[in-house]
Structure 1
Amino acid sequence: MARDPLSRPRRERLSTTSAVRKDPERPSRLRIWLRRRRGLARPLLLGGLGLGAMALLVVAVRAADPLQRLRDLAGAVGAFGEIGEGTGLAVGLVILEGREHTPRDLIVSALGVSRGDPILDFSPEAARRRLETISWVARAEVSRQLPSTILVRIEERRPFAIWQHNGRFAIVDRSGQVMATEHLGQFETLPLLVGAGAETAGAALYDELRRHEAVRDRVQALIRIQERRWNLRLHNGTDVLLPAGNERVALERLAELQQEARLLDRPLAAIDLRLSDRLVLRPSREPEPAEAPAPRDGRTARRG
């Protein structure tokens, strides 16, 4: 006789451990222990949660930009500046490196920060951009060193020459960038460039002059003529006319003439090297007789 499948006995999973029947009315030892220590459970729980949150915060700060994390935290409570003041993160020291000629007041103005200001309110990137607008500053680096220090490093443009144009003088670098127009006395040993365009083209000609020391030492000024060629004004007043675009060959020729005939030491008004196949010399005018110096007591000098 076939057995009805619905009449099969029900299968149940049984625990392999022996079950002990407990009296529901009798509290377990664990419950008694917890009841006795209920007063300590809440502080322990809160302390554990606090330590866990602090650990998560430390990991997050180390994994990303610490300053950005501080900004995010400050923004979450809407009190960025107040947090900086409340935690003592205020500007206490500004360290400046690399300054030689840049006026100090211009640097202070560009930084835009004062002692005691919240350091988290200070933007190093914005300060860097302002510093690089100063004519003396080629590059700048600005950083914060928490809790209270701002570090500023600048790289100045190097003064190359004094540029004279329209009766005004300025200090320029090799690219022609004007760096200063006042207090130029300390730069009097720099080469003198004269005329429109001389500030940007002068470095190339000066580099050629440096190859011929005997010529360079006698040059007082490099004069740009109509922004296309150069004259050299010597200390004795002689003008050397150089050809446009062929200065190297002309200077080599001039150095040879100086070595062979001491040409640059002669009383000449001009030495014209613009023609490659000839040398044109213009003699200077005869000097006029000097007047007799007036005597110190005001009496008329006796002529012999």
Structure 2
Amino acid sequence: MFGLGALSIAAVCGVSLAALEPAGRFSWLNEGVAEIGAGFGLTVQEIVVRGQQNTPKELIRAAIGIRNGDPLLAFSPEAARQRLESIAWIESAEVQRNLSGNILVVVHERRPFAIWQHNNDFAVVDREGRVVSADTLDAFGPLPLLVGEGAHKNGAAVYDELKKAPEVLARTQALIYVSQRRWNLRLHNGTDILLPEGHEDAAIARLAELQKAQSLLDRPVVAIDMRLPDRLVVRQHPQPEQPATSPRGRGRG
């Protein structure tokens, strides 16, 4: 009963004052209504945040912008939602203000997908390529490594094809985007696999077959070029030069 009465008083005051004051004073009026509401006990009692895992808590607190004991009617759920969704980690947010004095915040975070290396910089990105963190890169477990300009926005499709070929994925250290057109796979043993532009799925499936039949990916080679449709070119490591031998001299009798 008390809460409803306070709300009614605040509402009546807001309507009557708004009818008398010019348009430029609405900000002042809102503050006055909030103070009246606070006088009748309409203050923030509890702030509940759900869904936070990777977003720094201090960023969420700053975006909410209110604390326990502050006037409840001075809080704008819509403004808080917009501030929350400006945080890189947060994809969307829901904010509710209840007359009981409780504020409920539900955040839906972006999921870390890969580590993107661009020049000498590293960052965690989601599947769409949005940078969500440039710190604590090892805090999310093993993530794919995408290298090169534009790799963060185009790597998800190639990685999904690699997941269909686990024997290839297990040997892949990095996905390298070349000239923003095509991909190379860098294996853990140092071998580079040059994939054909636009036909990565077929090339990866063929690699999986060759690995099962010939253990191709375990061979110590420099590169495997798959860009030609009718052939596969394997570049071997150069053979070390043999030392030159000189003829033995004849001893004197």
TM-score after normalising by structure 1: 0.70
Equivalent in the alignment of 2:226: 273
Equivalent in the alignment of 2:212: 259
Q: What CA distance in whole angstroms lies between the structure 1 residues aligned with 2:229 and 2:9?
A: 72
Residue 187 of structure 1, CA deviation: 2.8
Letter in 1 for 2:153: T
Deviation string 1:167-187 (CA, Å, 9 cap, x unpaired) is 101110100011000111113
Equivalent in the alignment of 2:152: 199
Equivalent in the alignment of 2:72: 119
Q: Secondary structure at the match of 2:204?
A: helix
Residue 136 of structure 1, CA deviation: 0.5
Equivalent in the alignment of 1:72: 11
The match for 2:35 among 70, 73, 82 is 82
Letter in 1 for 2:177: R
Residue 188 of structure 1, CA deviation: 4.7
Q: What CA distance in whole angstroms lies between the structure 2 residues aligned with 1:99 and 1:188?
A: 18
Equivalent in the alignment of 2:53: 100
Number of residue pairs matched by the alignment = 224
- Whether 2:230 is the aligned partner of 1:230: answer no
Q: What CA distance in whole angstroms lies between the structure 1 residues aligned with 2:189 and 2:233?
A: 18
Q: What CA distance in whole angstroms lies between the structure 1 residues aligned with 2:86 and 2:43?
A: 26
The match for 1:167 among 95, 116, 120 is 120
Q: Which moved more, 1:153-162 or 1:76-85?
A: 76-85
Q: Confirm or deny: 8 A CA contact 1:88 1:147 kept in the other structure.
A: no
Residue 238 of structure 1, CA deviation: 0.4
Pick closer, same or farther for the CA change 1:196–1:71 going to 2, 3 Å. Answer: farther
Q: Secondary structure at the match of 2:117?
A: strand
Q: What CA distance in whole angstroms lies between the structure 2 residues aligned with 1:120 and 1:82?
A: 8
Q: Secondary structure at the match of 2:201?
A: helix
- Whether 2:94 is the aligned partner of 1:155: answer no
Q: Share of identical aligned residues, percent?
A: 54
Q: What CA distance in whole angstroms lies between the structure 2 residues aligned with 1:200 and 1:262?
A: 32
Q: What CA distance in whole angstroms lies between the structure 2 residues aligned with 1:193 and 1:110?
A: 31
Deviation string 1:106-143 (CA, Å, 9 cap, x unpaired) is 10111111221101110001100110000000110000
Q: What CA distance in whole angstroms lies between the structure 2 residues aligned with 1:285 and 1:74?
A: 88
Equivalent in the alignment of 1:142: 95
Letter in 2 for 1:273: M
Larger relative contact order (C-alpha < 8 A, sep ≥ 6)?
2
